[in-house]
């Protein structure tokens, strides 16, 4: 009686072994992803600087910048501004002469510029600096909002030597990330 | 006496699945190329894609039986990058074929998960036949995923071919 029961148990094991080794094939494969540091920004195509109407008081205007950025654990990012071209036509204000300055409002991610900075035609000046290991949206190590925002406040000197008229200059905002 | 009768009956029932199993074919080793699904550095503005070719052989197949292949992720998030879920990777089957009269068809695309999900299947060919499936993995990057230096974010994909 004991032997017959053992025989039945042995037979019962066979189907499971057969199905495990004969009817399946499996394979593993590694997958790697490397999210790169990156930055992007958007601004209105133009911003107007206006005067309060009092003679020779500066012209002022704001520019709201939306930006997304992420950096590596050892990286950083910076947003900068530079004048791509000076005011035209000639005879009016001049970026090269230091007539255009800006201040920054609070940045939702990173550290915005502090104090008044003069816009340059020859070099980039800082708007926002971002530290390492940050990202945009989602909270946690990232900012809670997407996109992030910062406001720039421009001040353009008025001067009796400027001819009356409408003047325009091109400014380039850039963001780079490591 | 009653116990003896019970044992004999059990033996007859168990023999049936043994022979049924032996009539089925066997699945050979699955080849996955490339061996590593490696996305180039990605940015949120552009999704990364990598195509993979899977192939294997079934010996002793039967046209009355079917085959299918599933894929599953080893974990719900990527190693070294726990903010990136496996579901950020989309599985897209692009082609499936079987030599010798079998059939193969792709299923729809789906986000990768730890649950095995079928992405292709069909009817087996009779005897020995080669099976192949092409699948594309698409990683949808996002600003909320932290950038990485080294090491990169990793995951193990597990493929399973079964026949019924």
Which residue in A17, A27, A148 has the most chain B C-beta atoms within 10 A of its own C-beta, making it the best mutation to test that interface?
A27
Look up the pTM and report it. 0.81
User: Given A33, A73, A137, which is nearest B42 (Cβ)?
Assistant: A33
Q: Which two tokens stand for residue B127?
A: 């005897």
Closest CA in chain B for residue A23: B26
Which residue in A28, A32, A133 has the most chain B C-beta atoms within 10 A of its own C-beta, making it the best mutation to test that interface?
A32
> Are B135 and B51 a contacting pair, CB within 8 Å?
yes
B40 lies within 8 A of chain A by CB: yes
What pLDDT sits at residue A138? 86
- Contact at CB, A136 and B137, closer than 8 angstroms: no
What pLDDT sits at residue B86? 98
- Contact at CB, B161 and A140, closer than 8 angstroms: no
- Contact at CB, B146 and A134, closer than 8 angstroms: yes
| Among B residues 130-159, those touching chain A with beta carbons less than 8 Å apart | 137, 139, 141-149, 152-159
Q: Is residue B87 scored above 90 in pLDDT? A: yes
pLDDT tens readout for residues B6-16 = 434 333 333 33
Distance from CA of B10 to the nearest CA of A (A): 7
A135 lies within 8 A of chain B by CB: yes
Q: Based on the number of CB atoms within 10 Å of its own CB, is B36 exposed (0-12), middle (13-18) or buried (19 or more)?
A: middle
What pLDDT sits at residue A23? 59
- Contact at CB, B156 and A75, closer than 8 angstroms: no
Query: Residues in chain A with pLDDT < 70?
Result: 1-23
- Contact at CB, A23 and B11, closer than 8 angstroms: no
What pLDDT sits at residue B24? 66
DSSP state of A35: B
A177 lies within 8 A of chain B by CB: yes
What pLDDT sits at residue A141? 79
A13 lies within 8 A of chain B by CB: no
B61 pLDDT band, cuts 50/70/90, is very high
Distance from CA of A131 to the nearest CA of B (A): 12
What pLDDT sits at residue A54? 81
> Are A144 and A57 a contacting pair, CB within 8 Å?
no
Distance from CA of A111 to the nearest CA of B (A): 19
B76 pLDDT band, cuts 50/70/90, is very high
A12 lies within 8 A of chain B by CB: yes
A61 lies within 8 A of chain B by CB: no
Burial B48-75 (b: 16+ CB within 10 A, else e): bebebebbbbbeebbeebebbbbbbbbe
Which residue in B144, B155, B163 has the most chain A C-beta atoms within 10 A of its own C-beta, making it the best mutation to test that interface?
B144
Instruction: Provide the strand spans (E) within chain B.
Output: 26-27, 31-33, 36-38, 48-61, 66-73, 77-78, 81-85, 89-98, 105-106, 110-111, 117-123, 127-139, 153-163
Mean pLDDT, residues B148-158 taken together: 91
């Amino acid at each position: 009686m004991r032997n017959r029961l053992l025989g039945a148990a042995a037979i019962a094991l066979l189907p499971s072994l057969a199905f495990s080794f004969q009817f399946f094939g499996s394979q593993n494969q590694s997958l790697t992803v490397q999210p790169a540091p990156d930055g992007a920004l958007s601004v209105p195509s133009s911003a107007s600087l206006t005067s309060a109407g009092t003679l020779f008081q500066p012209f002022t205007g704001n520019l709201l910048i939306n930006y997304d950025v992420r950096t590596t654990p050892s990286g950083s990012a910076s947003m900068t501004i530079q004048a791509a071209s000076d005011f035209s036509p000639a005879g009016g204000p001049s970026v090269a002469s230091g007539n255009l300055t800006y201040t920054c409002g609070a940045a939702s991610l990173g550290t915005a510029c502090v104090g008044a900075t003069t816009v340059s035609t020859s070099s980039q000046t800082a708007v926002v600096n971002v530290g390492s290991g940050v990202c945009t949206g989602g909270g946690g190590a990232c900012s809670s909002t997407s996109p992030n925002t910062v406001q720039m406040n421009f001040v353009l000197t008025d001067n009796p030597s400027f001819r009356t008229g409408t003047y325009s200059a091109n400014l380039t905002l850039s963001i780079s990330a490591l | 006496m009653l116990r003896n009768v019970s044992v004999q009956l059990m033996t007859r029932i168990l023999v049936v699945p043994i022979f049924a199993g032996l009539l089925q074919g066997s699945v050979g080793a699955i080849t996955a190329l490339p061996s590593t699904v490696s996305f180039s550095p990605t940015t949120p503005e552009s999704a990364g894609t990598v195509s993979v070719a899977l192939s294997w052989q079934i010996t002793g197949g039967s046209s009355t039986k079917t085959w299918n292949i599933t894929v599953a992720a080893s974990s719900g998030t990527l190693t070294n990058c726990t903010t990136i879920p496996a579901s950020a990777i989309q599985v897209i089957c692009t082609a499936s074929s079987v030599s010798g009269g079998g059939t193969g068809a792709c299923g729809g695309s789906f986000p990768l998960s730890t649950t095995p999900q079928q992405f292709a299947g069909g009817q087996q060919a009779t005897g020995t036949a080669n099976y192949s499936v092409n699948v594309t993995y698409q990683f949808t990057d996002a600003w909320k995923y932290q950038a990485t230096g080294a090491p990169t974010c990793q995951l193990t994909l597990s493929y399973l071919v079964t026949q019924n």
